[in-house]
C-alpha cells in the first residue's frame, strides 16, 4: 500500500514541478516554526547513497531501440510472402449461402487487420498463410446467435477471398531521416546518439541528486522532534492539491479518480488515508526546512523566484511563466526556492559516501 502511494505522490510531484515544499495557506517564511519543531543536528550529517550510474553503450542502444519500436511503419511484404497475424490485408471477397450471393456479403478493396476479430470466427484465421494474388474459399458458419442479422444465425456460408496486398508493421532503421523526423534538434545519427547519451546522463544525475536530497531530509527529520501537528488548513490544502492532480491524471486516461485508484489495486478509502498521511509528512518536512532557513538566515529574493519560474517554464515547454503559474494551482513559489536553497546548504555541510 505504501509503495503505491509513493508512486502516486511521485507522479503528482512530477506534474507540479514545484513538488510539495510548501503550504498553500501561508508563506513558510512567515511561520513561527519554533512552535512546531525542535531541530536536531543538521550540519555535517553523514549519509550514504548509491553512486551515480554510468551511461553504458547497452543502455544507450536500449533507449534508441525503444524509440525506434515506438515509431513503427507499415510496409508491403515481399512477393510470395504469406499473410501473418497482425498484418493489414487488402481483399476482395464474395459470400455465398447455398451457392447464392447475399446482401452485405461481398466487398472490393476491403482493408482488414488480421486478428482484429472484425469478421466472423474463422475468416481472419483462414487468411493467415495466404499470399498476394491468391484466392481462397473459406467454409464457415455464422455464429448463433448472430446479432447483426438474426436470420443468419448458425447459417453455413462460403467466402471466396482474393488477397490484393499485405502490409506488415516494421520497426524503422536508425537513419538521418528518422532522426530528423523526431524533431529533437539532431540532423544525423551521430548527433542523435550523443543527444541520447547526454539525456541519459542527465537522468542519472537527477536520480543521484534526488537520492542525496531524500537521504538528507530523512536524516535531518530523524533528529527533529515535533511539538505539534502541522496546521490542519495547510494539510487540507496540500491534500486537496494531490486529489486534483490525481483526478487530472485519471481523466487523461479517460477514468474517474476512483476507477484509477481501483486499477492500482486499492480503494478510495485507502487512497485518501495514505494521501492525507503523505500530505502531513510533506508539511512536516517543509516546516523543518524552513526552520533550518530561519536558523541559518537563508532568505529568498524576488529575483530568485522569477529566475526559478522562468527556468521551470522553459524546461516544461510552457509558452510563458503565466501559463506555468496557471497550471500549478500554487502561489507561494518562494517556498520552493527556499527548499532548494536549504537543501543545497545541507548538502554542502554533509559528509556523503557512495556505494
Torsion of CA 317, 318, 324, 329, to 10 degrees: -80
CATH 1.10.3120 residue spans of the chain? 2-39+224-354
pLDDT for 246-295, tens place per residue? 998 999 989 999 999 999 999 999 999 999 999 999 999 999 999 999 99
Q: Which residue has the higher pLDDT, 321 or 19?
A: 321
Task: Please count the other Cβ atoms lying within 10 Å of the Cβ belonging to residue 328.
Answer: 19
CATH 3.10.50.40 residue spans of the chain? 74-170
CATH number assigned to the domain covering 2-39+224-354? 1.10.3120
> pLDDT class for 27, splitting at 50, 70, 90?
low
Q: Is the pLDDT at 97 greater than 50, yes or no?
A: yes
Task: Please count the other Cβ atoms lying within 10 Å of the Cβ belonging to residue 55.
Answer: 18
Q: What is the pLDDT of residue 232?
A: 87
182 and 192 in contact (C-beta within 8 Å)? yes
Residue 24 and residue 338: Cα distance in Å, rounded? Answer: 15
Question: How far is CA 290 from each of CA 32, 46, 284, 286, rounded to the nearest angstrom?
Answer: 9, 21, 10, 6
> pLDDT class for 25, splitting at 50, 70, 90?
very low
Q: Is the pLDDT at 15 greater than 70, yes or no?
A: no
Domain 74-170 top-level CATH class: alpha beta
> pLDDT class for 207, splitting at 50, 70, 90?
very high
Amino acid at each position: 500500500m505504501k509503495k503505491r502511494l509513493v508512486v502516486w505522490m511521485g507522479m503528482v510531484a512530477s506534474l507540479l514541478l514545484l513538488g510539495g515544499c510548501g503550504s498553500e495557506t501561508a508563506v513558510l517564511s512567515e511561520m513561527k516554526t519554533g512552535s512546531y519543531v525542535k531541530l536536531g543536528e543538521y550540519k555535517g550529517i553523514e549519509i550514504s547513497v548509491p553512486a551515480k550510474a554510468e551511461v553504458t553503450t547497452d543502455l544507450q542502444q536500449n533507449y534508441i531501440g525503444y524509440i525506434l519500436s515506438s515509431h513503427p511503419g507499415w510496409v508491403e511484404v515481399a512477393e510470395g510472402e504469406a499473410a501473418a497475424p497482425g498484418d493489414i490485408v487488402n481483399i476482395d471477397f464474395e459470400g455465398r449461402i447455398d451457392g447464392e450471393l447475399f446482401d452485405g456479403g461481398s466487398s472490393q478493396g476491403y482493408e482488414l487487420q488480421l486478428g482484429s476479430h472484425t469478421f466472423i470466427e474463422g475468416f481472419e484465421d483462414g487468411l493467415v498463410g495466404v499470399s498476394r494474388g491468391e484466392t481462397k474459399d473459406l467454409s464457415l458458419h455464422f455464429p448463433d446467435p448472430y446479432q447483426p442479422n438474426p436470420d443468419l444465425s448458425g447459417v453455413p456460408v462460403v467466402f471466396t477471398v482474393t488477397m490484393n496486398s499485405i502490409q506488415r508493421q516494421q520497426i524503422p532503421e536508425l537513419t538521418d531521416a528518422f532522426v530528423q523526423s523526431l524533431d529533437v534538434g539532431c540532423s544525423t545519427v551521430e548527433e542523435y546518439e550523443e543527444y541520447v547519451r547526454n539525456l541519459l546522463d542527465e537522468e542519472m544525475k537527477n536520480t543521484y541528486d534526488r537520492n542525496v536530497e531524500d537521504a538528507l531530509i530523512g536524516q535531518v527529520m530523524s533528529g527533529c522532534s515535533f511539538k505539534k501537528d502541522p496546521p490542519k488548513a495547510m494539510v487540507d490544502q496540500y491534500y486537496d492539491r494531490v486529489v486534483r492532480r490525481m483526478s487530472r491524471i485519471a481523466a487523461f486516461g479517460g477514468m474517474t479518480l476512483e476507477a484509477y485508484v481501483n486499477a492500482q489495486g486499492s480503494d478510495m478509502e485507502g487512497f485518501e488515508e495514505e494521501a492525507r498521511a503523505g500530505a502531513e509528512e510533506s508539511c512536516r518536512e517543509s516546516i523543518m526546512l524552513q526552520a533550518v532557513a530561519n536558523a541559518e538566515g537563508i532568505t529568498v529574493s524576488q529575483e530568485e523566484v522569477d529566475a526559478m519560474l522562468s527556468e521551470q517554464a522553459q524546461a516544461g515547454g510552457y509558452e510563458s511563466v503565466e501559463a506555468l503559474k496557471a497550471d500549478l494551482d500554487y502561489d507561494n513559489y518562494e517556498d520552493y526556492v527556499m527548499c532548494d536553497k536549504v537543501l543545497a546548504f545541507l548538502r554542502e555541510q554533509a559528509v556523503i559516501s557512495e556505494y
